[in-house]
Chain A
Amino acid sequence: MLRLFPAITVIVLLLPVLAGLIGTVAPGFGYFPAVGGTSLSVQPFRDLFDWAGFRPALSLSLRTGLIATAASLIITMVLLAGWHGTRAFRWVERVLSPLLSAPHAAAAFGIAFLIAPSGWIVRALSPWATGWERPPDLLIVQDPGGWAMIAGLVAKEVPFLMLMSLAALPQTAPEHSLRITAALGYGRVAGWFKAIFPRLYARIRLPVYAVLAYSLSVVDVAIILGPNTPPPLAVQVVKWMGDPDLSMRLVASAGAVVQLVLVIGVLCLWRLMELAVTYAGLHAIYGGHRMRRDGAVRAAGLGLGAMSAGMVILGLAGLAVWSVAGFWSFPNALPDAISSRSWMRFGPDLLHPLNHTFVIAGAATGIALILTIACLEAEHRHALTPASRSLWILYLPLLVPQVAFLPGLQAITLLLGGGTHLGMVVLGHLVFVLPYVFLSLAGPWRQWDARFDTVGAALGVTPNARFWRVRMPMMVAPVLTALAVGLAVSVGQYLPTLLIGGGRIQTITTEAVALASGGDRRVIGVAGLVQTGAAMVGFAAALLLPRMLWRNRRGMRG
């Protein structure tokens, strides 16, 4: 029975993606029975290419995606190269979890509030430095260049890449290498990039690809921070998907196909860039430059890292202040009056979506945990060794753009009997929750000292009893962390709910993003804060429960 679970898990990951892809691609070539399209045609693509915004949208996606990914990777690596293992780095580790658990949409709103003409940054500089007595009429948020959106992506991607790097680093034993490069006279940063980066990058390649694919296809952050005339391609596809005119679905599907091709193409391009960097890197290594004076680089790394973290933290603080702000005149740093009116007025409306949020998140995370634990336990009991391609399968849902397969899933739901199934929405969330839950739990599970199990067996205890009486209790903390990760991922999901639910199922995230166009700061503050709270609730439990449970067990504390 247990042996079947790895296969079941692969099916749960692959089937929705593949079926969804087919269901999305088919209408792109004119096959969409709902509007009478039953023959193949390339008309949807002609309509797409005729859209005046097509080229700008495409180049915007390409530019923001590439720049955000490259910047995130560079900031992460310079921060690691300059500071890993130092006292200052403990701060990086400390702010990592809260930064990671803040949902993309809430972080984007926070950044929008921070950099907006009436945001804290302008307020802090006015009027003494800027001379502005009123908020300036500048397009800072949703700027046509997409820089605000890039900032929003970088702020969320640096913590992710940092987490992945920190997980992979111990295998490269960086302190040994750094001691040697230092003894050979290399500066810290040069030693790191020449001796450790190549090995580290090989281990975080898939997360980097996931970040790249995500940045190219992101929708919620783009709606909040990105330009909208035209928006990035993925956002336009979602707009067309929601068009009351059903025939626009065909153009949307054609757009989704282009989005998929874009991501595949850019991943290939990135691979080529990797080769170029490898070549240049080898050249640099042969050159033997010591680069001992790297203080400026280290400072820049720390500064950029602090900036990207500071944006999120100050942004969330800004959401909190706006949510309780009464009248707030420019350029005061704090509201003139504090009031609970926004919470009283909008809070109750959020209870219903919040309820949906937790039902969906709970179901998706619960299923993901069961599948993950069953797979890992099957691996342990039957001494299976996971193939290296299994990691690719795990990452597949994170590499394929969401707009390229979620609409197809909805189309299939409609074919299977119409209506909006909460179950299908849960399945849509599961596809994204499962990889993160698995990645979070697999490390601690596999590192467990299997001799505890040998002892249990020698004491005459059966495998199932050992699982419940030894393994699970010892794994409580990592399981709770995986649960928290799963909940946070699900709470933050925007497109799976929107596209599979057909707009009829509201979660706190779809509600929050929908508020973006309204621009009411106070209600956005309330919604963004509730969304952040919902995503963090699991982490609080994962932190507190084991401490309470193992209050009298010193061996169970980290």
Chain B
Amino acid sequence: MRGLELRDLHITINGAPLVTVNTTVAPGQVVTIMGPSGVGKSTILAAITGSLAPAFRFSGQVLLNGTDVTRLPPPARRIGILFQEELLFPHLSVGANLAFGLRRGAKDRRAVIDAALNDIGLPGVADRDPATLSGGQKARVALMRMLLSDPQALLLDEAFSKLDTDLRAQMRDLVFTHARARDLPVLMVTHDHEDAAAAGGPVIAL
């Protein structure tokens, strides 16, 4: 069974129940989780990536393409995530940020990175300081860095909330297009109805 499956994922905070989800995201599909802040939307994503804070506990399983990844160390899960902030490593150049993401074993790394920058409309910025890019440019680099690591699923944690309306639509299109082209299951957390409408997939309201 391909795709990302959350099977009875039940999260508690300091012992009290917080949230329960049961869903399957098919390859190329975008499932949206919506709800007010504080209901545990981002916490679900943290459980999937394996970065839950110690106050939280969870039961249930996360399956990726039929494999249970719940107990795998985070780097072995092959689940990409984008946050509201781009979180480009400030000490590395744009190119080095992409190289950081590019999966091991890829040949001609420099050429791959240049091509990837072309792909997102930013040719020739490989040696730039990420702090000198505009917000939209940073977001595109962050997306490409994640994609180059060859993930099997993509999580979006309010990934578009910081961008203004025009940029937001553009960025959404870019992310969804790339995810579909790679047949990635995408799980998006947002509080914005437009995001959900643009995704076109099922919406889980918390």
Contacts and interface: CB of A to CB of B under 8 A. Distances in A.
B54 interface: yes
B51 interface: yes
Contact of A457 (B50, B131, B145): B50
Contacts of A457: 49-51, 73-75
Contacts of B146: 455, 458-459
Contacts of B81: 454-455, 458
Contacts of A552: 129
Interface in B44-87: 46, 49-51, 53-54, 73-81, 83, 85, 87
A461 B130 contact: no
A383 B53 contact: yes
Interface stretch (A225-233, A327-335, A469-477, A495-503): A469-477
A458 B91 CA distance: 19
A451 B85 contact: yes
B190 to A, nearest CB: 17
B88 to A, nearest CB: 8
A556 interface: yes
Given A385-B54, A458-B79, A552-B129, A474 B100 contact: no
B129 A554 contact: yes
Contacts of A451: 83, 85, 87
Nearest to B87: A455
Contact of B75 (A449, A461, A476): A461
B51 A470 contact: no
Contacts of B77: 458
Nearest to B96: A469
A470 B75 CA distance: 14
B101 A459 contact: yes
A395 B90 CA distance: 35
B49 A554 contact: no
A79 to B, nearest CB: 35
Contact of B90 (A456, A459, A462, A556): A556
A450 B53 CA distance: 10
Contacts of B100: 456, 459, 461, 469
Contact of B131 (A452, A453, A474, A554): A554
A460 interface: yes
Contact of A555 (B74, B80, B90): B90
Contacts of B91: 473-474, 476, 550, 553, 555-556
Interface residues of B, number: 35
B40 interface: no
Interface string A311-323: 0000000000000
Decide if the interface of chain B is mainly helix, strand, loop or mixed.
loop
B187 to A, nearest CB: 13
Interface in A418-475: 449-463, 469-470, 473-474
B129 A553 contact: yes
A150 to B, nearest CB: 47
B149 interface: yes
B176 interface: no
B134 interface: no
Contact of B149 (A452, A458, A462, A556): A458
B103 interface: yes
A56 B151 CA distance: 76
Nearest to B51: A454
A460 B103 contact: yes
B76 to A, nearest CB: 8
B85 A553 contact: no
A469 B73 CA distance: 18
B37 interface: no
Nearest to A466: B75
B51 A555 contact: no
B54 A459 contact: no
A455 to B, nearest CB: 5
Interface in A499-528: none
Interface string B154-178: 0000000000000000000000000
Interface of B: 46, 49-51, 53-54, 73-81, 83, 85, 87-92, 100-101, 103-104, 129-132, 145-146, 149, 151
7 contacts: A456-B100, A457-B49, A457-B73, A458-B80, A459-B145, A473-B92, A553-B90
A-B pairs, 3 with minimum CB distance: A555-B90, A457-B74, A554-B131
Given A455-B83, A457-B75, 6 more contacts: A455-B146, A457-B73, A457-B74, A458-B146, A462-B73, A470-B89
